[in-house]
Amino acid sequence: MSLPPGLSSQTPPSHLVRWHSRIYAIAGLFVLLIVIAALATTIGSVKIPFLTTCQIMLSRLPWLHITPFWPSGVETIVLEIRLPRVILAGLVGAALATAGATYQGLFRNPLADPYLIGVAQGASLGAVIGFLLPATWHGMAAGVIPLFAFTGAIISTAIVYGLARVGKTLPVTTLILAGVALGALLGSIVSYLIISSGEKMHSIIFWLMGSFSLSQWADVRYVLPYVVVGTGVILLYARRLNVMQLDEEQAQQLGINVERLKIVLLVAATLITAAAVSFVGTIGFVGIVIPHAVRLLWGADHRFLLPLSVLTGAIFLILADLIARTVQAPTEIPIGVITAICGAPFFLYLLRRRKRVIF
Amino acid sequence: MIKIEIQRVCLGYAHKDILHDVSFQVLPGELLGLIGPNGSGKSTIIRALTRIIAPIRGRILLDGKDIAMIPRQELACLLGVVPQLPLLPSAFTAFEVVLMGRNPHLGLFQQESQRELDIAWHAMARTMTQHLAMRRVGELSGGEIQCLLIARVLTQETSAILLDEPTANLDIGRQVEILNLLKNLCRENNLAVLAALHDLNLAAQYCDRLILINDGRVYAQGTPGEVITAQNIKEVYGAEGCVYTHPANGLPAVLINPGNGRTPNLKIKSAHVDV
């Protein structure tokens, strides 16, 4: 486009893109995440000073030479019990918040959450079947429940996808309706199985409400690749997800292969959700509310909404897990209870304070 | 420089044919108007040109290449669209929406650079929308959104532009501004521009050629003087009208008869009834 010479302002004012404030927000939240993670590792039933905790963690870095002055029991508590738990909570929080933001953007629906198209119900059914298996199965492999939950999540999403497909296209409304219907069906099967599960009922319900109490490094190693790869793919598509907010026809006219984009994002978001819930249960509230809170604070642009959701989700779930294991120690409160009790009032406060369109 | 050719195209939705055997061309540097009654298929042609729907028969060529063979992203670098009354995400700012016009030019690993921002900002200057840049699109009026969409299509920097009722929501001043802008762009950059228009007077004043669609067929095509005649208006729209000659430029100008069959008594010196 040729431009008439002498046009008043050739360069757009920098505030138009608000990139600076958003990049500062990303950097600030990243630092906050590190600090919160370190604090959460310090706090627990055994009192360990904050500095000692930091030194124990830093002593594992190869280029720092810190001589251990602490008892080996303390090191085990920090490195083998608390740290994997904190990291897993962060990963799951990041995964659920990212998947929630992705589904909301893809479906252009503020009510969407990571469990909308059957992931949670599929994972629950898988997990319940795992719990009801004869004890000999559990002896064979420690990870029976996560394996069954993951398989259940993937199978149920695949069924929803197959049901919703019309020719070469995947209408979003049909996908949501199929997901809700199949979710209801699987949910009622889960309820029936729970009622008839006898003495295993307590552990099943505890799993369904979510808990990090059994977290180990092995769990982190399983979940990490899914979350890193899935989130990475989603972040690459952030600009296209913005264009998708117009509508499918305009998105196509702006050069987006809409059907391919839907498949890539659905697969990525579903995999990270399935990996997250398989190990810790179907934790609610994070996936729907964190993205909205981020929108309220920093706007709806997915190039910032997505990374900010990753960080905010991680921070939120680390804090929620800290509360879950400390307020009633030694008893643990299911984390799903904490996420709603602490998160909902804060979210409602944000909603009232910023009276503007957020979606 | 790009030429759009529509060759014997049939279009329709789910077994209902809307258009039969339509052929025409849009040449570089030409502003072609698409006129016709409601439901005659003007929007359907625009949707077919952007591959939203595929022709049942016939071909649509862009510089001799069938658009069915052009990947979507590449097509969006060649052909931009201003849709009619589109859905816009109300939480985005006007500038963010205009910047989306750069999307087809950016790959998966690319971000908008300063150059992208400059192009969008200039497009907003040309459409007189810079003062709206930080407003959320949910707060804007229909006319303001119309101008933003034209800024977005300019940001897309395509050699062909399609517009579906670009002046429908604009006041008379803005209609003239926007059509002047389109006409100038079309001339300066040799763009091929196709605009579906309802207002026969604007179509006559601004378009180089007109295509009149009726009952799914090309009813007439040619210069405004050839297409806009009282007889065509009566046969296609079923409305009684008088076609005058514009005193300033000799192009046809339409006045309707309000039903009682009387010819309006105009007091324009050089006007003469063209029928």
Domain with A321 in it: what CATH number? 1.10.3470.10
Average of pLDDT values for A250-257? 93
**Pairing status of strand B16-26 against strand B4-13:** antiparallel
Question: What's residue B271's pLDDT?
Answer: 45
A125 in a structural domain: yes
SS3 of residue A126 by DSSP: helix
ipTM at complex level = 0.86
Domain tally, chain B: 2
Q: Worst-scoring range by mean pLDDT, A6-10, A171-175, A180-184?
A: A6-10
Tell me: do B114 and B208 sit in the same domain: yes
The residues of chain B scoring below 50 in pLDDT are 262, 267-275
Q: Do A255 and B87 touch (CB under 8 A)?
A: no
Tell me: do B152 and B181 sit in the same domain: yes
Mean pLDDT across chain B: 88
SS3 of residue A295 by DSSP: helix
Tell me: do B126 and B256 sit in the same domain: no
Tell me: do B153 and B270 sit in the same domain: no
Q: Is the pLDDT of residue A45 over 90?
A: no
Q: Do B86 and A246 touch (CB under 8 A)?
A: yes
CA B39 to chain CA centroid, Å, is: 16
User: By the 8 A CB rule, do A261 and A88 touch?
Assistant: no
Q: Does A237 touch chain B (CB under 8 A)?
A: yes
Question: What's residue A135's pLDDT?
Answer: 66
Tell me: do B218 and B251 sit in the same domain: no
Question: What's residue A358's pLDDT?
Answer: 63
Q: Is the pLDDT of residue A343 over 50?
A: yes
Question: What's residue B35's pLDDT?
Answer: 93
A124 in a structural domain: yes
A345 in a structural domain: yes
Domain tally, chain A: 1
Domain extent for A105: 32-353
Sole residue written with tokens 């049942």: B56
Domain extent for B112: 4-228
Longest dimension (CA), chain A: 82
Tell me: do B161 and B234 sit in the same domain: no
User: By the 8 A CB rule, do A123 and A274 touch?
Assistant: yes
Alpha helices in chain A (DSSP H): 19-42, 50-58, 72-76, 83-107, 119-132, 135-140, 144-164, 172-195, 201-209, 217-236, 238-244, 248-253, 258-280, 286-298, 302-326, 335-353
Q: Residue A342: which pLDDT band, with cuts at 50, 70 and 90? A: confident
Question: What's residue A9's pLDDT?
Answer: 55
> For testing the chain A interface, which of B74, B95, B162 should be mutated: the one with the most A CBs within 10 Å?
B95
Q: Do A255 and B81 touch (CB under 8 A)?
A: no
> Residue A119 has which token pair?
């992931």
What is d(CA B205, CA A142) in angstroms, rounded to the nearest whole number? Answer: 79
Q: Is the pLDDT of residue A162 over 70?
A: yes
Tell me: do B16 and B45 sit in the same domain: yes
Tell me: do B171 and B267 sit in the same domain: no
User: How far B135 CA sits from the closest chain A CA (Å)?
Assistant: 10
Mean pLDDT across chain A: 86
User: By the 8 A CB rule, do B76 and A254 touch?
Assistant: yes
Q: Do B100 and A243 touch (CB under 8 A)?
A: yes
Residues A165-179 pLDDT 10s: 888 888 888 999 999
Q: Which of B72, B123, B189 sits opposite A256 (nearest CB)?
A: B72
Q: Is the pLDDT of residue A142 over 60?
A: no
CATH code of the domain containing B217: 3.40.50.300
A291 in a structural domain: yes
- Chain B contact set for A240 (CB, 8 A): 103
Tell me: do B147 and B241 sit in the same domain: no
A23 in a structural domain: no
